[in-house]
Structures are given as C-alpha cells and as structure tokens.
Structure 1
Amino acid sequence: MESTILVLLLFPIILFIIISSSIQKVRTQKPPGPRGLPIIGNLHQLKEPLHEYFWGLSKKYGPLFYLKLGSRPVLVANSSRLAQEILKIQDINFCSRPELLSFRKVSYEFRDIVFSPYNEYWRDMRKVCVIHLLSAKRVQSFHLIREDEVSRMVQNITQKATSLETINLSEMITFLTSTIICRVAFGKRYEQGSGESKRFNHLIHEIQMALSDFYFTDYFPLISWLDKITGKIDKIDRICKEWDSFYQQHIDEHLHQNRPKSTDGDVIDILLQLREEGWGTSVHLDMDHIKAVLKDVYFASTDTIATTTTWIMTALIKNPAVMKKAQEEIRALLPLRKKEIVEEEDIVAVGLPYLNAVIKEAMRKYTTIPLLVPRETREKCTIDGFEIPAKTLVYVNAWAIANDPVLWENPEDFLPERFLKDDRRISMDLKGQDFELMPFGAGRRGCPGITMALATIQLMLANFLYFFDWDVPDGMKKENIDTECAYGLTSHKKNPLHVVARKHIYSDKII
C-alpha cells in the first residue's frame, strides 16, 4: 500500500522530468537541413548562385537551417527577424570571422579589419581606423579628389557623346572608382588604359577569384596538403605577393620622397604618422599592419562602390521612366550655373530624395554582397530554440531578405517610390539599423566605410544624370539589357554595360 502511494506521489514528478527532458532535447537540437553524406556533408549539394540556392532551401526547411560542409558546421539565416537576432541581439557571439585560408592569406595573417577574428586587436584596429581614416570629417577632406576625378570623367564622356561612341560604362565606373581610391589611399593617379591601370584590374580580378575559390584546408584539414598539390596555395601566394609589392612600392615612395609627416595627407601618410606616434592602443603598428589596412581601403572600396554604381545605372537604363524622374529632380533642384560638375555641397544642399530612393532600391534588388561576409560563433549558443555549436560558420542571406515578398511588395519590380511613401522605408539610412535592407551589413561587423561609399556613389550618379541623356547602342532594346551575375564575395554584372551618352541640351545654353 505504501509503495503504491509512493508511486502515485512520484509519478507526476517523474512524468514532469521526462517531459521536460524531451522538450529540452527538442529545443537544443540542431536546426533542420538537408541530409548530407558521411565525411563530405552537404558539399556535393551546393549550387551557384549560393544565395538563391539557400533561399530555395529556406522554403523547405524554414528561414534557419543547418548544413555540414566537410568538417565545418554551417548556419544560414534567411529572414530579417533572424538577421536582427544574429547581427544585433546576439551580435557579441556572432561577430567573429572564420579563419579561412584565403582570408588569412590576403589579410597578412588577420592584421586587417574585414577578415580578422573578433578580439582586442580587432577592436583597437577598427577604432583607430574609424577615427583616423573613415570619420565623416576625414571623408569630407577627400571631397576635392572625388570631384576632380568625376570632372575628368564628365569631360571624357562628353568627348564620346559628341560622336555617339559606344561607352563601356562598367569599365569607366571601375576605373573612376579605382582612381579615386588610389588618390585617397596612395596620393597617386594613373591614366585609363595605362599599364598600372590594367595591372589594378588584373589584380582585383585575381584576388576576387582567390577569395571565392574552394580550399580543402577549410573543410578537410586532414587532407589540406591537396591545396598544395593542386597549385592553389602557390597561386594565392603569388597573388598576395603581387599585392604586397604594389603596397610596398607606394609606401617606399612616401618614405623616400621625404613627404611631410602629417595626418592631413593620404591614407599612407596617416598610417605612417600613426606608426611613428603610436596608435594610443596596445597595437604596435608595423608595415604588414599598414598593408593590411591598405588592402581594406583599396580592394573593399573599389570593388563594392564600382559594382553598386554599375547596377544602379543598369537599373536606370532598363527603367527609363525612373531615370527620367531622377534626372528631372536633379535638373530642377540644381539650376544652371558656371560650375563644370555637380559638387558634393550641391547634393547635400538639396538632398535629392528621389535619387537616394533609387540608390536604396537598386541596393535592394541588386544586392552587391548577397551573402554577408561569413561570421563564426565564438561559443555555443541557442537561437530560435536550436543549439548552435561554437566555431559554426554563419551566413546571413541579405539578398533573400531584400527580395522577400513577405517584406517587400512586388520585390521583382524596380520601384524607388516604395522608399518615399512609407514612413518606415523613408527613414531607412542603410547604416545597419533596418534588418530588411543591409547593403553595408550591421552590428560590430558593419562596413565602417559607408560614408565614403555613399558620397562617391551619389556624386557619380548626380553627374551622370545631370549632364547626360543615356541610351543603348543601335540594335538593342533597353528592356533586354541583361542582369546576369558573376558571383564571388560580391555580385558583379557578368557582361559589361554598353551605353550611348548624349550631352543634355538646356533651353538657354548647353552645359
């Protein structure tokens, strides 16, 4: 009898423990995902483009799913809610970088800002770079360089417009952006078509390919020697050596020219001065630190700004009604004057709300970095009730979020007006506080160069649209302009944008 009573008394407790244990087990299991194979996991299932493949998987497994790529666990987030959880709420645990071979090679053993793991060194480097290189005041100090290069571009296009010569606008934008960054970083410019200009383009293309290549070291450490046998190690070492030579050449020129030591010069001047005076942190700045930062300034800026501007012009030419409206705004708000170009102070003065809406919409539809640069969990954690192991590779699918029909009405259409009608959309500033649109990322790893990027993009576009009317070459239709992508860390337009420019004629004079 006593034993029966004891069982009856203990039964609810035992049942509670069993149920709690089951619930805990369910809550701490890994997120769902496609079944993989032993050893290789899901590697054989990956398809390009990855962001679209991940978006397809999210429709089957939910917005958060799990993969295994060789020995490396991978988490993919495809919703704005999860992006906010990862990039803001739990940012401190998701803010490191995976120590991938290509990241390590191009960053001088993680001495840069973009690819360095999260630690005290990274915090010091980012703080000093933001203060000394990328502050609003510093970006403004380079405005004359941006305006001078845009003025040269306007003259170049004017010459081609006279004869209605077909223009490779993709190439022109890339050269313009590269030259601006060269002058900002190195205090030097090169003419289009020169040997150095071609060298830049070649090096940028090679490093893009190296960063997006597959390395056994990253997923199968026990057979990392295959990267050596296949020649991939030698190839990336050669590319990094060429970049190192490029950086060293410019640093030597600054050292040997007995330039004034000042933080009012170009980026190399600033970094050399900081090297001599100290950062005010625990970091001892050596030449490899300087080169790693130059890599961030030159490569990251040139590639993303040029790619974004090319996509914006592609969208405008494919949508002539949108282009006409943007041109009307610029030409109405910026009356005729003697200036040879639209200057940055003009843009700041009038705001150009429609042009800014065009920029946001293009960044939404043609996401330059579809998968935010991968992160890595610093320790075991829980997200959405699922247990995520430490050292998990984490992708946030920015493209999927920016094209999610739940968030965006008619996402396949190019509609800048969506950023002018909805108060919540109007206030989107692209600085990582709105997790439905994150072209510059968010959280601790958000791009610190956003001010420089937007200033350059706005200046180029304002001048493109103020001075010229744009068309496609004979035999082409605007609606047939392709939007095929070449994928890497950034999503480039695969085929160059070829256009014809005509100098805009005003009623009282030709600008």
Structure 2
Amino acid sequence: MADLQGFFLPFIICLVSLLVVQAIFRRTRIQSRLPPSPTALPIIGHLHLLAPIPHQAIYKLSSRYGPLIHFFLGSVPCVVACSSEIAKELLKTHENAFSSRPKMLAVDYLTYGSAGFIFTPYGPYWKFMKKLCMSELLGARTLNQLLPVRSEEIRRFIQMVLTKANAKEAVDVGLEINRLTNHIMSRMTMSQRCSDNEADEVRELVQSILQLCGKFNLADCFWFCKNLDLQGFGKKTNEARKTFDAMMERIIKEHEETRKLNKETSGDDAPKDLLDILLTISEDESSEVKLTRENIKAFILDMFSAGMDTTAVTIEWALAELINHPDIMNKARGEIDVVVGKKQITIVKETLRLHPTGPMIVRESIESCTINGYEIPAKTRVFINVWAIGRDPNHWEKPLEFHPERFIGEDGKTQLDVRGQHYHYIPFGSGRRACPGISLALHMVQTTLATMIQCFDWKVNGGDGATVDMEEAPGLTLPRACPLICVPLTRLNPFPSLE
C-alpha cells in the first residue's frame, strides 16, 4: 500500500499542476488575442479532434472556426491555416518569421541531428544547402546530365509492364512505381541500381522512416514524456537508422575508394552522381561550409524520402483519377498520340491539387507576429493545410471534381505555375523553403504517366465501368487507403521497340 501511495501521490500532484498550467494558458490565450480555438481537453489538448486523418479533420473544423485556428497538441501550441490568404501571410508577408522547422525527436534522430536539408533549422547551414541544391545537386545542368538514367529506367519499367500485359497478370501500380523511383534515385545519387529484392528493402526502409516521421509521438507533445519511450519509437528509430547507416557507410567507402583510384590512374575525379558532388564539396577546404559525413548521409536520406514515395504516390493517384474519368483519359491519349503537349501537364497539376503529396506544410515561428489580426507567439508550431486550400470553393469551381482543363486558359496556355507563386495552389510549398526538387519531380511524374497511358489500358476488377476507391490513408505523403491493382492491356500494335 505504501508503494502504491508513493506512486500515485506524485502522479496526482503532476496531474493537478498540469491542469492549473493549462487553465493559465487558456486565460492567457484569451487575453493575448490568439486565433479561435475549439474546446480542449485536459492534458491532451485538441488531439481528440484530429483523428483519424489530420488534414481532413482540420478542414472540417475550419468551416466552424475560420481559416486560422489555434490548438494544442498536448502541451505544444499550434496554429493551422486553411485558406490561401492566410497561407500568403505566413509564407510571403511574414516569411522570415516562419522559415524554420520544429524539432521532432524521431526526425532529429533519423537525420543525424537534423543534419540534412529538409528538416534543418533556418540558418547559415540551411542557406548553404539551399544554394547547393539549386546550383549543383538539383540544378538544370545536373538533371540534364542524369537524363539518360531516368529514361533508361522508365524503358525498363515499361518492358516489365509489357511482360505483365502479355501474361495477363495484374500489376500493383504503387509497388512497381516505387521500385522505378527507387532505381532512379539510387542511380542518380549513388550510381547503383538495386535488384528488385534490394529495391524492396530500400522502399520498406524509406516507408518505415516516413511513418516514424509522420506518426504522432507522445514525446513531441508532452514534456513529461520526453525521456520515456511509451510507444517504442526509440527502438524503431534505432533500427531504421542503423540499417540506413550501414548501407550508406558501405556506399560512401566504395565511392571514396573509386575516387582515389581514379585520381591515381587518370587524375579524373569528376563527379559522377550526387554523392560524388557531396564528397567533392566535403573535401574542399575553401568551401563556405564544411560538410561532414553525417551531413552527406542525412542529405541522401532526404533525397530518398522526398523523391521516392512522393513521386510514386502522385502517379498512383493520377492513374486512379484517369481510370475513374475515361473521357479525360481519352482526351489525354489523343493529344499524346499526336504530340506530347499540355494535357499531361494539366493532369499532373490537377492531381496535385486534389492529392498533394505533402498535405500539410509544417513550420515553426521564430518570432512573434500578427496574422489576420491575431497574435502568433514565437515557438508556435504552424501547419498550412495544402489539401484544404486546394479544395477551397472560393478559388476553385466545383473543387471536388477532377477537371484538368481548369488549368488551361482561354488563350490555350496552361495557367498557375506549381512553384508557389499562387497561394491557392502550393503543392510544393512556397518561399525559400519550397521543395528544391520540383523540376525533377515533374519530369519523372509527367514522363512516366504519359508513357503508361499511351502504351496501355488499365483495367481494375469489376469489369468495364468499374471505378477505383479514392479513400486516403493516414500518412506523411498522402498514401491511398487501398493499393491500386490493375491488369494492363497493350494498346499499341505493333508495340514500339524499347531499345
């Protein structure tokens, strides 16, 4: 009994203290003109209102509380924007105040202490990596040099689909596109092509890392849980980073040995892939920032995390929409058959409007500022609901319909660039922390999707007229609730040579 009393008394004191602190927070919120907020529960705050899919739940809350909502994830203060007008204030008018990322324990550990690029806090190192991405790693010159790699892998993918079509076998579209993007990213970053088994291992590792980064972590939201591992995240993140680190150490050592041999034999140490570029910069004593081994590993992880799953998810959603809208599929094919033109571009744009691969942008305020007449304190976690903004009826006619022609103006030219200049359409973010890999992503999605619909019909179970379930699943990159399983039928006869 004494042991039980010794356990429960500190717990009760802690609980009462938390309730008092939360009451003070609420009173302070009223006095300090924070945005509207739903009723919170003790300790957990508003977590009960955000299940099962946060961006959908917040979208519904915005119809009652307005486009800017204040809420608590446990003890963490947050605001969420659900309109393009608020997004513009956050991403443009007050860009300096919202240029950083919140520190989340699993993400921080998996990225070697936020040593990469995507989750790095705003500062000199992030500015250096941004400049490096735009000028070297993901610049036009590098992407053009690696174009043959992407083209060859797409041809191999089409050959695989053709084999399935001839055998009348079904294709798990998401799985196979993930393998394709894995092969492309592996060859672009490390000049290595994985076997299908190895590609599946890398895909599962990346998806595991994305799940760990996207799942709710008690330690991020409750200060008294920071040193506890109640959900087993510590073990999972340790295993994931250990696996990734072992793979990267092997590949980096192989690159270092090859570079050394090339210097000794021919004096040629010119970069062959993105890892070579990073190693060259790390060896440059005059470099503005000294890249460490951890920086290199974390950046390669960023490339796989941001480039592999997101591309596959976009293509999977696009094909699903086209199967459900055969009239649009036929229009797209007609234009592609004549000359590959703007139809495939608008299909990708419309897919990204309805199914953005990053449904919510996450930032953290560096300093206090006023948004739409409300005060946003420093160190507030900020979410911008890209999914909701893309469905806003104030900016989109019939927003829930798949209608790619909405991106073609009366003059026949495509409208609304994807690079974040129009705040009611920001699938890749906006401002200085917008995705630096837009050009690579668009090339991979447009080319692969156009080839898939030009060369094959895609049939789902249920016979002619059967439609695809469009339900979403929880996740960092907007995965589908049900995998897209199709039987490809060869459309071209004779089928063109893939050599």
| TM-score for the superposition, normalised by structure 2 | 0.88
Q: Is the 8 A contact 2:408 2:415 kept in 1?
A: no
Q: Please, what is the CA RMSD of the aligned residues?
A: 2.0
Shift of 1:270: 1.0
- Where do residues 44-443 of structure 1 align in structure 2 (5 Å cutoff)? 44-192=48-196, 194=197, 196-227=198-229, 229-258=230-259, 260=262, 262-278=269-285, 280-281=287-288, 283-333=289-339, 352-372=341-361, 374-421=362-409, 426-443=414-431
2:468 is aligned with 1:481: yes
2:488 is aligned with 1:501: yes
Look up the SS of the partner of 1:74 in the other structure. strand
2:43 is aligned with 1:34: no
Give the letter for the 2:247 counterpart: F
Give the letter for the 1:439 counterpart: P
Structure 1, residues 177-221: CA drift from partner, whole Å, max 9, x if none? 1110010011011232x2x12211221221122112222321122
Take 1:482 and 1:175, find their aligned partners in 2: how far apart are those partners?
23
Structure 1, residues 4-47: CA drift from partner, whole Å, max 9, x if none? xxxxxxxxxxxxxxxxxxxxx99951011112133332223321
Q: Is the 8 A contact 2:336 2:454 kept in 1?
A: yes
Q: 1:393 to 1:477 in 2, by over 3 A?
A: farther
Shift of 1:74: 0.3
Take 1:30 and 1:187, find their aligned partners in 2: how far apart are those partners?
51
Q: Is the 8 A contact 1:27 1:385 kept in 2?
A: no
Take 1:67 and 1:297, find their aligned partners in 2: how far apart are those partners?
32
Gaps of 5+ in 2: 1-28, 263-267
Give the letter for the 1:30 counterpart: L
Q: 1:425 to 1:445 in 2, by over 3 A?
A: farther
Shift of 1:311: 0.8
Partner of 1:444: 432
Take 1:309 and 1:256, find their aligned partners in 2: how far apart are those partners?
38
Shift of 1:163: 2.5
Q: Which runs of 4+ in 1 moved over 6 A?
A: none
Structure with higher Rg: it is 1
Stretch moving more, 295-304 or 229-238: 229-238
Give the letter for the 1:304 counterpart: T
Q: Is the 8 A contact 2:107 2:213 kept in 1?
A: yes
Count of aligned pairs: 462
Take 1:412 and 1:425, find their aligned partners in 2: how far apart are those partners?
23
Shift of 1:328: 0.9
Look up the SS of the partner of 2:458 in the other structure. strand
Partner of 2:12: none
Take 1:38 and 1:294, find their aligned partners in 2: how far apart are those partners?
41
Take 2:402 and 2:44, find their aligned partners in 1: how far apart are those partners?
40
Q: Is the 8 A contact 2:314 2:352 kept in 1?
A: yes
Give the letter for the 1:215 counterpart: N
Shift of 1:279: 6.7
Take 2:483 and 2:163, find their aligned partners in 1: how far apart are those partners?
20
Take 1:390 and 1:27, find their aligned partners in 2: how far apart are those partners?
16
Look up the SS of the partner of 1:68 in the other structure. strand
Q: 1:252 to 1:462 in 2, by over 3 A?
A: same
- Overall identity of the aligned pairs, in %: 36
Take 1:129 and 1:499, find their aligned partners in 2: how far apart are those partners?
37
Q: 1:478 to 1:273 in 2, by over 3 A?
A: farther
Q: Is the 8 A contact 1:403 1:411 kept in 2?
A: yes
Take 2:220 and 2:348, find their aligned partners in 1: how far apart are those partners?
36
Q: 1:89 to 1:425 in 2, by over 3 A?
A: farther
Take 2:379 and 2:495, find their aligned partners in 1: how far apart are those partners?
61
Shift of 1:462: 2.0
Gaps of 5+ in 1: 1-24, 334-349
Take 2:450 and 2:44, find their aligned partners in 1: how far apart are those partners?
50
Q: Is the 8 A contact 2:271 2:280 kept in 1?
A: no
Look up the SS of the partner of 2:193 in the other structure. coil
Take 2:81 and 2:280, find their aligned partners in 1: how far apart are those partners?
42
Stretch moving more, 319-328 or 424-433: 424-433
Q: 1:272 to 1:131 in 2, by over 3 A?
A: same
Shift of 1:278: 4.4
Give the letter for the 2:255 counterpart: H
Q: Is the 8 A contact 2:106 2:233 kept in 1?
A: no
Take 1:160 and 1:39, find their aligned partners in 2: how far apart are those partners?
54
Q: 1:427 to 1:262 in 2, by over 3 A?
A: farther
